[in-house]
Amino acid sequence: MTAAWAGICSSSPPCVGVSLQKPRYSYGNILARKAFTVNIPSADYVAEADYFGMVSGKDTDKFAATGLTPVKGTVVDAPYVQQFPVVLECRLLKTLEIGVHTQFVGEIMDVKVDDAVIGPDGKPDMARVRPFVYDSARQEYYGIGQVLGKAFSVGRDLKR
Amino acid sequence: MTAAWAGICSSSPPCVGVSLQKPRYSYGNILARKAFTVNIPSADYVAEADYFGMVSGKDTDKFAATGLTPVKGTVVDAPYVQQFPVVLECRLLKTLEIGVHTQFVGEIMDVKVDDAVIGPDGKPDMARVRPFVYDSARQEYYGIGQVLGKAFSVGRDLKR
Q: What is the mean pLDDT of residues A122-147?
A: 98
CB atoms within 10 A of CB A50: 25
Could you give the CA distance from residue B143 to residue B102 in angstroms, rounded to a whole number?
A: 28
Q: Contact, B14 vs B108, CB < 8 A?
A: yes
Chain A residues within an 8 Å CB radius of B6: 7
Task: Pick from A16, A40, A94, A103 the residue to mutate for testing the B interface (most B CBs within 10 Å).
Answer: A103
B19 within 8 A of B102, measured Cβ to Cβ = yes
For A118, counting Cβ atoms within 10 Å of its Cβ (0-12 exposed, 13-18 middle, 19+ buried), the class is: middle
Burial class (CB in 10 A: 0-12, 13-18, 19+), A86: middle
Q: Strand pairing of A86-98 and A79-81? A: unpaired
Residue B159, burial from CB neighbour count under 10 angstroms (0-12, 13-18, 19+): exposed
Q: Taking a contact as any Cβ pair under 8 Å apart, which residues of chain B between 31 and 90 contact chain A? A: 43, 46-55, 60, 65-66
Helix ranges (H only) for A2-160 are 25-33, 46-52, 62-66, 126-129
pLDDT value of position B69: 98
pLDDT for A58 beyond 90: yes
Confidence of residue B148 (pLDDT cuts 50, 70, 90): very high
**Cα separation of A102 and A99, whole Å?**
8
Q: What is the pLDDT of residue A13?
A: 98
Round the CA-based radius of gyration of chain A to a whole number and report it.
17
Across A5-21, average pLDDT: 97
Q: What is the pLDDT of residues B1-15, one digit of tens each?
A: 999 999 999 999 999
A9:B151 CB<8 A: no
Q: Are A100 and B10 a contacting pair at CB < 8 A?
A: yes
- Interfacial A residues in 3-22 facing B (CB < 8 Å): 4-15, 17, 19
Q: Is A139 on the interface with B (CB under 8 A)?
A: yes
Listed in sequence order, the residues at least 6 apart from B103 whose beta carbon sits closer than 8 Å to its beta carbon are: A9, A10, A17, A96, B17, B18, B19, B95, B96, B97
Q: How much of chain A, in percent, has pLDDT values that exceed 90?
A: 99
**Is A137–B124 a contact, with Cβ atoms under 8 angstroms apart?**
yes
Q: Which runs of E-coded beta strand occur in A1-154? A: 6-11, 14-21, 35-40, 70-72, 79-81, 86-98, 101-113, 132-135, 140-150
- Residue pLDDT, tens place only, B64-112: 999 999 999 999 999 999 999 999 999 999 999 999 999 999 999 999 9
Contacts of B38 (CB under 8 A, 6+ apart): B3, B6, B16, B18, B87, B88, B90, B106
ipTM above 0.90, yes or no: yes
CA angle centred on B5, ends B110 and B59, rounded to 5°: 85
Q: What integer best gives the mean pLDDT of chain A?
A: 97
- B53 by Cβ neighbours in 10 Å (0-12 / 13-18 / 19+) ranks as middle
Q: pLDDT by residue (tens digit) across B34-47? A: 999 999 999 999 99
DSSP designation for B115: G
Q: Give, in order, the Cα–Cα distances in Å from B43 to each of A8, A67, A151, B50, B126.
A: 22, 38, 13, 11, 11
Residue A62 scores a pLDDT above 90: yes
Residue A39 DSSP label = E
Q: Tell if the pTM clears 0.90, that is, is over it.
A: yes
d(Cα A74, Cα A88) in Å, to the nearest integer?
A: 11
Closest partner residue to A98 among B10, B133, B155, by Cβ? B10
